[in-house]
Amino acid sequence: MQYHLNGELVPREEATVSVDDRGFRYGDAVFETCRAYGGEVYAWDRHVDRLREGCETLGMAEAAPDDLAVRVAETLDANDLADAYVRISVSRGVQPGKLTPQPDVDPTVVVYVKPLPRGGVDGEPVWDGPAVVQSVKTRRVPGAALPADAKTHNYLNAILARLELRRAANDSYRSDEALMRDVDGNVAEGASSNLFFVDDGVLKTPAARSLLPGITRELVVELAEAEGFPVETGRYSLDDVREAGEAFLTNSTWELRPVERVDGIAVGDGPMTSLLRRLYDERVEERCY
């Protein structure tokens, strides 16, 4: 494997960054996780816009280079990959070990890829089956403390949630995703996914207050509205989700993953989930293959 590091393709073993890099020291960096289908990164414009907005939020607006799309394409070509997971990271770079960053930025920019199955109509999901979801005690950091729409390297919040799942697992029970709430107790999102559920024919998803509004979440809302499905964003309790007729999770890698159980309560797939999954696959097929 070869990765793209600061404008150059390098073997994976040589793709290293300095211990003085602020992304390593402080998590002072942003990233995007994308998915390539047929050699094309799906929804690239939305991903790169969010990456640039995240850089601006961190006060390093010029850190994301103009040729990011070229670097991604070169990395896919170098690894002979058409269908792949793609991650782009931009840190503030190497600076003295002080909390306050220097005004001048020499960013560290990394493009990382790994193979994934074909997507689209003839594709196969990357997940083994519908997700078993478990609510956790770890609360989502409020947007007033850490901007929720900035996808930063600081993922300790989600890591702590996933560690709760590990501690709760045993030979007969294991969860795939942690369901996090905000500080007021409302459902927010999964550790690495957004949540949708269906209640009385209405597609519902938590409002973007203390959650990262994912690109796939945005695309699914657009697909649902185009089909004439009623879509609602709001504040919901765990019981609202547990009692739902159907539910699913979204992120760029999973796409739409049905939820089998929430806190041991059966939820399962349903007609709206199935239709939206098909529409999503058709959109990918049309635009990328």
DSSP 87-142: EEEEE--B--S-SSPPSS---EEEEEEEE----STT---SSSSSEEEEEEEEEPPP
**C-alpha closest to that of 53 among 30, 35, 69, 70:** 30
Phi, psi angles (nearest 5°) of residue 214: -65, 155
Helix (H) or strand (E) holding 43: none
**C-alpha closest to that of 30 among 103, 119, 96, 108:** 108
Residues listed for the chain: 289
Entry pTM: 0.96
> What string of pLDDT tens digits covers the 289 residues of the chain?
999 999 999 999 999 999 999 999 999 999 999 999 999 999 999 999 999 999 999 999 999 999 999 999 999 999 999 999 999 999 999 999 899 999 999 999 999 999 999 999 999 999 999 999 999 999 999 988 999 889 999 999 999 999 999 999 998 899 999 999 999 999 999 999 999 999 999 999 999 888 999 999 999 999 999 999 999 999 999 999 999 999 999 999 999 999 999 999 999 889 999 999 999 999 999 999 9
Residue 77 Cα distances to 3, 81, 85, 250, 286, angstroms? 11, 6, 13, 27, 22
Contact criterion met (CB below 8 Å) for 104 and 62 = no
CA-to-CA distance for 165 and 150, rounded, in angstroms? 25
Q: For the chain, list the domains and their CATH numbers.
A: 2-115 (3.30.470.10), 131-288 (3.20.10.10)
